[in-house]
Amino acid sequence: MAKAPVLTPRADDFPRWYQELITKAELADNGPVRGTMVVRPYGYGLWERMQQEMDARIKEAGARNAYFPLLIPQSYLTKEAEHVEGFAPELAVVTHAGGKELEEPVVVRPTSETIVNDSFSRWVQSHRDLPLLINQWANVVRWELRPRVFLRTTEFLWQEGHTAHATYEDARDYAAHIHRNVYADFMENVLAMDAVPGRKTARERFAGAVNTLTLEGMMGDGKALQLATSHELGQNFAKAFGTRFLTREGRQEYVWQTSWGSTTRMVGALVMAHGDDDGLRVPPRLAAVQAVVVAIRDDEQVLAEVRRIGERLKAAGVRVHVDDRTDTPFGRRAVNWELKGVPVRIEVGPRDLENGTAVLVRRAGGSKEPTAIEALPVLLPEVLEAEQALLLKQSRARREERTAEVATVEEAVEAARTGWARIPWSALGPEGEAKLAERGVSVRCLVAADGSVPESDDQPGNVAVVARAY
């Protein structure tokens, strides 16, 4: 007999499926203020693993962690005109504190380019101080009109990197290094998510940047989600804040800068890219719990064996959890672990013990097979890597199957109903991009003819990747 569905099928109502999964997998709840969220322990555990993996890559790129204030003088944002214009609709402004009206209103951090430059202008004096490579893990506030948990919330968590360099080339190369060696590597090798690297058009560029590099992922419903961005800021903020240095030749010059960030949006991406009608499917390299060993019955020998298996798997380097809650029905526990997307479930009952086996259930692959208990410590690492590879393969296949090559705006809009479109930038251009925007479709990025990231917007052979987006 088929089991009753726990979630609304994705094909029936994808947004409802997403919200139900967020709630039933205990990832997050809505906060008391519109647009805020309470990240629950299981959801925060996913974010913590993302932090660990990202932080290691960021430090490998030479950046060090620091922390800057949450409150920013409003006058700071007005120093860079394009920046303040881009963020003005989203700002939360504090006008009263301590029972008094403030002499100058302060803005709750929407991003930190301005307050970072206030410090950089003091820290950078000479070419010997460069490059200055800083990252911070923090929260930010952007007043969202159409909030959705993890995807667009008024307050969210992120990392934001800020760097200063002596030359344009150094800054350009570092932004590309972060894009490729931190973000793209993390998306592919940890999140098992196919992501298209590209260059944002002028219309989609970060406010105050001269170039924005992006990674775009296709979600389960065919829409696009911007996963992470790396920006070349040129000298815009340096000139606004007087961030200068003395060159080797004794000249005073403005620094060249980058900023780059990724957010708790990646948790939402994980849900929408890998989730199925039974719940989450967490890539093993990301999972805080890679395997759960489940006791089927309240039996002393069974309980002793699941604990022994747990210890042996832990010794083999597997992140394991032992579920010995036999006062809760086995079926309910199995459904709960499926919802949470734990990569592997190992089920042990009295009959399994008699045979010296356990039932090995693969979450991504969907298979269920008897497996010798003694073989588990050797077999499981291989199974986890196979599950990791399968999720990436499925993510890439979806993007390839649901991307159409088109030649006109109308064809692009039609293709974007169910997936993505690729159209020559020379046939689209800013005018065609504006027409797409009127239809709720955007150019997610530009890619070169060979699939690499183009060096300029007008590089011959550029292709626009077009989609509806979150």
Domain boundary among 347, 367, 389: 389
Note whether 453 and 466 are within 8 A (CB).
Answer: no
pLDDT at 1: 47
Q: How large is the average pLDDT for residues 52-65?
A: 98
Q: Which amino acid is at 133?
A: L
202 φ, ψ to 5°? Answer: -60, -35
Q: Are residues 413 and 358 in the same domain?
A: no
Query: Does 342 have pLDDT greater than 70?
Result: yes
Confidence of residue 259 (pLDDT cuts 50, 70, 90): very high
Q: DSSP strand E in 92-190: where?
A: 93-97, 100-108, 132-141, 155-165
Q: How large is the average pLDDT for residues 321-347?
A: 96
Question: Chain-wide mean pLDDT for the chain?
Answer: 96
CATH number of the domain residue 441 falls in = 3.30.110
Q: How large is the average pLDDT for residues 422-437?
A: 97
Q: Are residues 407 and 383 in the same domain?
A: no
Closest CA to 199 of 165, 174, 225, 176: 176
Q: Are residues 126 and 52 in the same domain?
A: yes
Q: Is 65 helix (H, G, I), strand (E, B) or coil?
A: strand
Q: Are residues 315 and 337 in the same domain?
A: yes
Domain boundary among 389, 424, 448: 389
Parallel, antiparallel, or unpaired for β 442-447 and 463-467?
A: antiparallel
From CA 374, how far away is CA 388, in angstroms rounded?
A: 23
Q: Is residue 281 part of a domain?
A: no
CATH number of the domain residue 99 falls in = 3.30.930.10
Q: DSSP strand E in 354-397: where?
A: 357-362, 368-372
Domain boundary among 389, 423, 439: 389
| pLDDT tens column, 70-126 | 999 999 988 876 766 777 788 999 999 999 999 999 999 999 999 999 999 999 999
Q: Which domain holds residue 426?
A: 403-467
Write the DSSP string, 274-342: H-BTTB----TTT-S-SEEEEE-S--HHHHHHHHHHHHHHHHTT--EEEE--TTS-HHHHHHHHHHHT-
| pLDDT tens column, 183-241 | 999 999 999 999 999 999 999 999 889 999 999 999 999 999 999 999 999 999 999 99
Q: Is residue 449 part of a domain?
A: yes
Q: Are residues 303 and 378 in the same domain?
A: yes
From CA 196, how far away is CA 444, in angstroms rounded?
A: 10
Q: Are residues 262 and 308 in the same domain?
A: no
From CA 126, how far away is CA 246, in angstroms rounded?
A: 5
Q: Are residues 149 and 35 in the same domain?
A: yes
